[in-house]
Chain A
Amino acid sequence: MFVTNIIKEFYDCISGKRVLVLVHSDLDAICSGKILQALFRADHILYTLCPVLTLSDLLTAVKSHKEQISSIILINCGGTLDLVEFLELPPHIKVFLADTHRPLHVCNIYSDDQIRILGQLDDDEEVPAFGDVFRDDETSESEEEDEDGVSRISESRLEKQRERRLWEQKRNKLLFDYSQFSYFAGSTATLMFELAWKLSKDTSDLLWLAIVSLSGEQLCSIREQHKLALCAADLNTHVARLHHTNHTDTTEPAADTITFQKDVQLSLYRHWSLVESMRHSPLTATSLKLWTHKGEKKMFELLAELGLPLTECRQLFCGMDVKLRSELPTLLEGKADKYGLGGLVTPSFSRSHVFHSRCSASDFAHAALALLEPPSTDGLSMSHAFLDASDCLNGSTVFAKGIASARKQLEAVYRQMQTFLDMNQVISAGPFLYATVLQGSPLAAFMSGPHVLGALGRFTLGAHVSASRNKKARSLPLVLTTPDSSQPQDWCLVCGIPPLADTSHRNFFGKAFEQAVSKTQSRAQLEFFDSHVIRLHVEDRSKFFDALISLLS
């Protein structure tokens, strides 16, 4: 069931008890978890928090803790499963679910009380009606027994069976339509921040977490642009409100300010040189085709036209002329359209502390995402990476480490994308394109998780489309495979990226992979909550792909 009063039906229910919080290993979930932790700290609510990445992580965590706990909070995991059945939940355990993964399983939505879903459905989301998917079979059967005449019974029974078959067909169709596409709803961190606000415990630190999470969604482009823009505007009203109440005295500079203003959308440019940052940002790289000589020349042209000396652009941004730095957004905005760089300068959040240089929310998102999926050569466990990413959001030394890893990751993604294009490794399979990261390549170590795979996939697809003469390219999705870091000999990860032309950000690969696997009996693990990524045994790759092609044709 959906919770309508989040304080009464959620927060009040858990106060005074110890709760288990299971947090999916993604940026939004981490931010949400941190907001919850801050609330729990303030209200002395004892908790245990564990990260989960896969379905089996979730199952193990619940199994090992369920003896000692009566409330479980799931953040960004589990919403797409029938939780009561999957987790074998005893009736005394209540689950509070806050998940951006869609579609939510109908059993969770129509659970009486045991599963409580925080948040609401978007206006454009539709859920099959209760009567269309659930049917009280027992009562109908008992009715049958009350009947007398034999012939009438069989007649009515036939009638009923026929009706039932129809109903089931309709039901299956409804459910298939409902679950065909996987997509993401609004950020959980925003939901949690609103909870904090309702509890009058909203601070700029918590707001910043919600902002970083939103910025992460933008980077991963998992939602429609206009929805993100609306969310940003919402958060900006909170910024204004918090600053207004905190700083009545305007003469003194605020120690900690969040601003929402026009900024250049270049990856990590505050911690890099302008040239490098442009090269590694998907927007500039794909529009200018920076992996070609011509593209590079074009970039220098652009910089020259802006009046930025190349020597300045090649050194770290913080070393650039102060005047150039402050004028950069205006300069770039003026020329963006001429070079086909629409959207290069858009309003975005940044934060400045006294004695610290300004950081944008996307810097934090980049850093945390990179720490979340460290190169497999580092040998860190998922939970360790989770804690690193979580610490990185507090600023401090871990943040610096995160920025360094983010740069390395962006470089690896860029080089891999360039390899794909240079070697013509993006191949058309008919209904979709595919590309494979070769086993043994030093870059393979970096492609270790769903986020980075998504980033690589979108970058590759964008570059491919911009380089390809084929008009159809924009409407083709991409399937990316990469050796799985834990057992690169035997297993690979397969990731599906929707076509560029599709702006709804709905991904049909989850369902398609599932069907292809079951059709071919491939050895595969559909373990991720992000269902468009699966683990597949390498020997079954070709038959899996054949099935996928025939499915999607």
Chain B
Amino acid sequence: MKMADITDDILSASDDDESQVVTAAEVLLKIESLWRTERLSPTLECHQSELVDCMLDQITQMNNNLRRCKKTDLRLAIHRMELERVRYVVASYLRCRLLKIERFTHYLLEKHGELDDPSLALLSPQELDYAKSYAQSIESHFNKLVLRHITHEKLAEFDAKKMSVVPNMNGYVFLKVLKDSPGVLISDQVGENADEEVDLVAGDQHLMMYSSIQELLKSGHVELI
């Protein structure tokens, strides 16, 4: 990507165990791939706020650097254009996540709570804050107008289990296989025990249920297209 032309700055993004050295261009590539996946997936994918923060930081720095350039310099226009494009990708990615967070608030909060490993966390700290505040605001709104007027104790509860909107994990997604993955189980939804196993070969493209490939997506064996 052209980010590499702009800066040779090398920055570090902390990965789970060891500190890895990544270039801005690589970060951008990663974010673009995250963005694609997020837009195509029926549910919320794990957050990557370090990458996002790092990218935003880069944008600010670059903007400051560019401010010093001569106004009519052709390179200036090209660099700025690139920055605008990066900013769009980041904004679109975060918007897409917010939309899902608002829709599946309670479900995601519950899932997030179940995970111990912080590297697999669904929500970034800011998103967690957002989701909690959103959930709380809705519950209290319900309470003010309806629930507290109901005498039936059980009925007057906000029953998150029943009411939370759950993503459709059985939705179908287009995917491309990146690494050979033999023996992927396709479970039969009708319940006639017609489960199937398929071998996914690198380079193939498929239309499959999200639930059957969710793990492969996480491990980077497949990507959504």
Contact = CB atoms under 8 A, between A and B. Distances in A.
A and B touch in the complex (CB under 8 A): yes
Interface of A: 15-16, 44
Contacts, number: 5
B193 interface: no
B77 interface: yes
Contacts of A16: 71-72
Contacts of A15: 72
How many residues of B sit at the interface, in one of the four size bands?
under 10
5 contacts: A15-B72, A16-B71, A16-B72, A44-B72, A44-B77
A15 B70 CA distance: 12
A47 to B, nearest CB: 15
Interface of B: 71-72, 77
Nearest to B70: A16
Interface of chain B, helix or strand or loop or mixed? loop
Contacts of A44: 72, 77
Interface of chain A, helix or strand or loop or mixed? loop
A242 to B, nearest CB: 25
B84 to A, nearest CB: 14
A356 to B, nearest CB: 33
B81 to A, nearest CB: 11
A83 B72 CA distance: 30
A16 B77 CA distance: 12
A44 B72 CA distance: 8
Contacts of B77: 44
Nearest to A17: B71
A415 B71 CA distance: 57
A16 B71 CA distance: 7
Q: 5 smallest A-B Cβ distances: which pairs?
A: A16-B72, A16-B71, A44-B77, A15-B72, A44-B72
Contacts of B72: 15-16, 44
B181 to A, nearest CB: 47
Contacts of B71: 16
B82 to A, nearest CB: 15
Nearest to B76: A44
Nearest to B71: A16
A469 B72 CA distance: 67
A44 B77 CA distance: 9
Nearest to A15: B72
A13 to B, nearest CB: 12
A15 B74 CA distance: 12
Nearest to B77: A44
A16 B74 CA distance: 11
Nearest to B73: A16
A15 B71 CA distance: 10
A16 B76 CA distance: 12
A44 B71 CA distance: 10
A40 to B, nearest CB: 13
A16 B72 CA distance: 6
B7 to A, nearest CB: 22
A16 B73 CA distance: 10
A16 B70 CA distance: 9
B70 to A, nearest CB: 8
A196 to B, nearest CB: 19
A19 to B, nearest CB: 14
Nearest to B72: A16
A473 B129 CA distance: 88
B32 to A, nearest CB: 27
A44 B74 CA distance: 10
A79 B72 CA distance: 31
Nearest to A45: B72
Nearest to A16: B72
A444 B77 CA distance: 52
Nearest to A44: B77
